[in-house]
Amino acid sequence: MSTTVMSADSHMDLIYLPPETFTSRMPPSWGDRAPHVVARDGRKLWVSGDDVLAPYGVYGPGVTGGRRGRILADAGFASGRETRPSSPAQRRADQERDGVEAEVIYGVIGISRGLFGAKGITDPELLTAVYHAYNEYIAEFSQTVPGRFFGLGCLPNHDAAVAAEEIRHCRGLGLPGAVFVPWSATMPVWHEMWEPVWAAAEASDLVVSFHVFEGGGTTVGYEVKGVRHPAAIGAWTVVAPMQMDEILASVILSGVCDRHPRLRLVLGESGIGWLPYMLERLDDTYEERLADDLKLPLPPSAYFRRQIYATFQKDAHGVRAMAQIAPDNVMWGSDYPHRDGTWPFSRKAIEEQFRGIDETIQRKMLWGNARRVYRLDG
């Protein structure tokens, strides 16, 4: 396969950031509450005040488990010494090894909810300052290898005016999009309080993205009612992409897309195999039960095709279905450097799931759609 490939879903995690990322960009008044790295009991940890946020330089418990874990361990991701994702040269080398030309990079996912059982940052003002600093960092990082790295900003989710202001900050930094965490937000995305956010994103021509693994699970997860069980963790990992069904239905049925026709929304790492059913279900339910109350000018699926996009890593059934239904609305991503991803065998994964797919559609899903959605070609 000779198609140029872009990952629409890669990551820059807290655990791999340079230790001075926040302390060098946040006002001194935050003191030791600004996230920083300390050494404790022979380990390095990210902390904020007395709270441990995450390990430094290593994913944490279970990283070496399974086939993917062993691959990451062999590549140095589990050593606790290398921070390849935040090293421009090493990251670029990893992408060349994987046959990936460019990346859209999500960042510090989980910092508001905690990683590997650690406590997240729950103070809204502190989290806003942390996001503000991270957005400046990722904008600088994206310029280290122009045309290859396209970082996304992070948005506060406690106050619409504050989030809208951060959207404008992201736009000023040259970032093509920003991530909004819906599950821990003050109100769900269908609530009218978020209108300033959608309006600011539309006016700024900035993509708003949602991403899995920030919440949503109630009976499965890393810990449920104080109990950890590998089956519950595994079940959560399996079903997490479909957390996006609520977000998709909410932004369409609440009229967000209708009121903001130029707004572009992305479902990050959602997978796509469930979308055909969801779009059919949306249209049918709307026509049969909701039209009189909601009065949308277009069928729900039309809003999806016009302005909502989804990313996937391995989804052969979804590729075939969406190639027929909405080939302009899906984007492949490697999920580098996460255990759920395809690095360093992305080319093999792509070839297997795109076998028999028209080359024009392949180019859209592997390169063109991401460039168009994020306005990366001018």
pLDDT in tens, 282-340: 999 999 999 999 999 999 999 999 999 999 999 999 999 999 999 999 999 999 998 88
Position 64 scores a pLDDT of 56
One of 3.55.40.20, 1.20.120.1200, 3.20.20.140, 3.20.20.10 is the CATH number of 6-15+100-373, namely 3.20.20.140
Longest dimension (CA), the chain: 63
Tokens 């900003």 -> residue: 153
In angstroms, the CA 335 to CA 160 distance is: 29
Position 74 scores a pLDDT of 79
Q: What is the mean pLDDT of each run of 10 residues along the chain (378 residues)?
A: 87 94 98 96 91 82 65 72 88 96 94 75 96 98 96 97 98 98 93 98 98 75 82 82 93 98 97 98 98 98 98 97 98 92 94 96 98 91
In angstroms, the CA 232 to CA 189 distance is: 27
In angstroms, the CA 121 to CA 130 distance is: 9
Position 78 scores a pLDDT of 64
In angstroms, the CA 154 to CA 297 distance is: 32
Say which residues have a Cβ less than 8 Å from residue 337's Cβ, sequence separation at least 6: 10, 11, 13, 16, 72, 77, 84, 85, 94, 343
Instruction: Specify the pTM.
Output: 0.94
Helix residue ranges per DSSP H, 215-313: 230-239, 244-253, 256-259, 275-285, 291-294, 300-307
Position 219 scores a pLDDT of 83
